[in-house]
Structure 1
Amino acid sequence: MLINVTYIPHLNALRTFSVAARHLNFTTAATELNVSPSAVSHQIRQLESYLSTSLFDRTARQLTLTAEGEFLFRRLDDPFQKIGLAIEQMRTPLSTKSISLLCRPFFSSLWLAPRLRSLWTTLPGIDLNLIHKTSFTLADAETADIAILWGKGNWPEMTCERLVKGTLTPIMGRQLAKIAGVPEKPSDLARYTLLHEENRTHWATWLERAGVPNLKTSGSALVDDTNVRLQQVLNGQGIMLSDPALLSELLACGELIRPFDLTLGEYSYYLAWPSRRPPETRVRRVIDWLLAESRTNASN
């Protein structure tokens, strides 16, 4: 249900109530609002009169909210916090210092780098420090302002927001398809070399779900850099698991081939930062831009 918000009565009193309810102390609220405690009390009385209900229980030694006050506070505090954050973001210069962003080269080259022109157009003056590592620990991620992590979004002591939903499926190159043909069923993969990521778990999971958990292949190679694995696939040296959305152009032109529909869908790319260190305004603006780019990409 949409409410007409062109006129909200007693908006200043609502803000005063929100601050007073957060502190449960009129004097502390007055200090934050830069008014007198009597002004705070007067505005609260006005609001209570308008609503025909008491918002605070003043009989106890400690000021407390009534049930009606608690109801109102829970619906007011977050909007006022968001308004304050928006104003702060508009007034904060972006170029205070560089923002470090840690991610893997593969994702950076295929998804992030093509969008950087839009970043600098949207947030002029931003100073971005891109740090690329083929693999990194949570300790590495904690040293950056923002990290883009691949996984399930369940890293301890990290706050995560999903950036790009990931899927993994076998990908082969046109050269290998000409030499050995395109596999028609999962068991046909026994004829090919499988290219693995750092710990081989993705291929093991995909083969199990495909019904061939103990498949013996003609060869395998562990390559920790996804860009190198992709180059091997393009050179006809094996089959890798990768996200077809990131490789859409190479798939569309026929350089790469996706032989099966079966995918692993429980992994994604996440924006992450330490929970103990909320993003500064300038960092939050980059996070919001990244999420907006992701939503735009998903809708296209």
Structure 2
Amino acid sequence: MPKPYDLPSLGDLACFEAAARNLSFKLASSELNVTPAAVSHRIKALEAELGQPLFTRHYRGVELTEAGALLFVSLQRGFETISDSVGRIRTRQDRSGVSVAATTAMSGLWLTPRLAAFWKAYPGVGISQIIQDSGMAQGVDLSIHYGDPDQETDETRVLFHDRILALGTPALAETQGLRDLDGLAEAPLIHTQSGANGWTDWAEWFSMLGRPAPRGPGFHVNNYLIALQAAEDHVGAVLGWEGLLGGALEAGRLVQLVPEAMASPAPFYLRIHGRASANARLFADWLADPG
């Protein structure tokens, strides 16, 4: 029975790829845990089968011939495809479940409080939350972001797009005598600095309302949940999204300090990754429109 693929020994090809990538038989032998002589023997066997040299041998090393370069590029593409498939299989979870990545703040303030209602409607679907504050979202079905969904190549769902408010405790409002933007500009403000999310800052917020940057003392953190906790501890005022902080507002832990608000420049949205299962799409549709 003929072979389905007209290929030399896969072992010889793997040995050649390592030698070509390193441009060294010695480094390839170390990588493959064999002797340099074994690498040389396999490559000579491959060259004999192909009927032409793949390397030009020099005293201090080797160089790829034109045929060798052509074979190396082809092998790299093939191995990269295989590696990607193997990685997907290794990380593949039970496809009845759904994995969703979000920042600590988004998960704690918005996503987790909604899971009970989803499970009531769909009790058979398991949800795995992956906290990714770095901004990278890999190996998951879904991920939640703040920004421009049109920049994504994957399918997306807008979750909410609302107003950004100046928030603080009733005690802060009373002690600082906060009634208007002039007073807020002199009050202590909590600043969130994060490279993973393009959070709107106080200077931008005041600018959008036609005011100069605030002059009051600042408290700087790089985690939004810490910023909110500091606000609830009366440290200062914090910027907050209505859709994200509905629970804190309803409970009265934080209140709107001034009537002015800024329209959010970007929405929170859901990215549906290429590996998303049918249940992941079900969860995505439900999050975007829970009914």
**Under TM normalisation by the shorter chain, which class is it?**
0.5 to 0.7
Amino acid in structure 2 at the alignment position of 1:130: Q
2:121 is the alignment partner of 1:122: yes
Give the drift of 1:187: 5.8
Instruction: Give the counterpart letter for 1:286 in structure 2.
Output: F
Matches within 5 A, 1:67-216: 96-133=95-132, 135-137=133-135, 140-186=136-182, 188-198=184-194, 201-216=200-215
SS of corresponding position for 1:176 = helix
CA deviations 1:144-173 (Å, max 9, x no partner) are: 110011122233433221012232121111
Q: Cα offset for 1:110? A: 2.8
The 1-side partners of 2:222 and 2:154 are apart by: 24
Identify the match of residue 237 of structure 1 among 235, 238, 244.
235
Measured at CA, do residues 287 and 250 of structure 1 come closer, stay the same or move farther in structure 2, by a change above 3 Å? closer
Aligned match of 1:283: 280
Query: Is the alpha carbon distance of 1:252 and 1:279 closer, same or farther for their aligned partners in structure 2, counting shifts above 3 Å?
Result: closer
For residues 96 and 194 of structure 1, what CA distance do their matches in structure 2 show? 42
- Secondary structure at 1:267's aligned position in 2? coil
Give CA deviations for 1:26-61 in whole Å, capped at 9, x if unaligned.
xxxxxxxxxxxxxxxxxxxxxxxxxxxxxxxxxxxx
Number of residues of Structure 1 aligned to a counterpart in Structure 2: 195
Shift of the 252–115 alpha-carbon distance from structure 1 to 2, 3 Å rule, reads closer
SS in structure 2 opposite 1:163? strand
Seen in structure 2, the aligned counterparts of structure 1 residues 179 and 285 have a Cα distance that, compared at 3 Å, is same
Matched residue, 1:251: 249
8 A contact 1:204–1:213 mirrored in 2: yes
Classify 1:175/1:124 alpha carbon distance in 2 versus 1 (closer, same or farther; 3 Å).
same
**CA distance, structure 2, for counterparts of residue 211 and residue 187 of structure 1:** 15
* Secondary structure, aligned partner of 2:201: helix
Alpha-carbon contact 2:177-2:183 (below 8 Å) kept: no
Alpha-carbon distance in 2 for matches of 1:273, 1:287: 8
Distance 2:213 2:173 in 1: 24
**Cα-to-partner distance string for 1:200-238 (whole Å, 9 max, x where unaligned):** 7532221111222333222241x2222111110011101
Q: Percent identity?
A: 22
Q: Is the 8 A contact 1:196 1:203 kept in 2?
A: no
Letter in 2 for 1:174: P
Question: TM-score, with normalisation over the residues of structure 2?
Answer: 0.59
Q: Relative to structure 1, is the Cα distance of residues 192 and 141 closer, same or farther in structure 2, using a 3 angstrom cutoff? A: same
Structure 2 regions of 5+ residues with no counterpart?
Answer: 1-92
User: Helix, strand or coil: the match of 2:149?
Assistant: coil
CA apart distance, 1:108: 2.3
Q: CA deviation at 1:141?
A: 1.8
Root-mean-square deviation over aligned CA pairs: 2.5
In 2, the alpha carbon distance for the partners of 1:266 and 1:183 equals 25
Q: Give the TM-score of the pair, scaled to structure 1.
A: 0.58
Return the alpha-carbon distance in structure 1 between the equivalents of residues 232 and 110 of structure 2. Answer: 19
Shift of 1:130: 0.5
CA contact (8 A) 1:193 1:239 kept: yes
C-alpha offsets along residues 69-112 of structure 1, whole Å, 9 cap, x if unaligned?
xxxxxxxxxxxxxxxxxxxxxxxxx9645321011222222322
Shift in CA distance, 246/265, structure 1 to aligned 2, threshold 3 Å: same
Q: Does 1:262 align with 2:258?
A: no
SS in structure 1 of the partner of residue 191 of structure 2 = strand
Equivalent-residue separation in structure 2 for 1:209 and 1:178 (angstroms):
26
Amino acid at match of 2:289: A
SS across alignment from 1:136: coil
Which runs of no fewer than 5 residues in structure 1 stay unpaired? 1-93
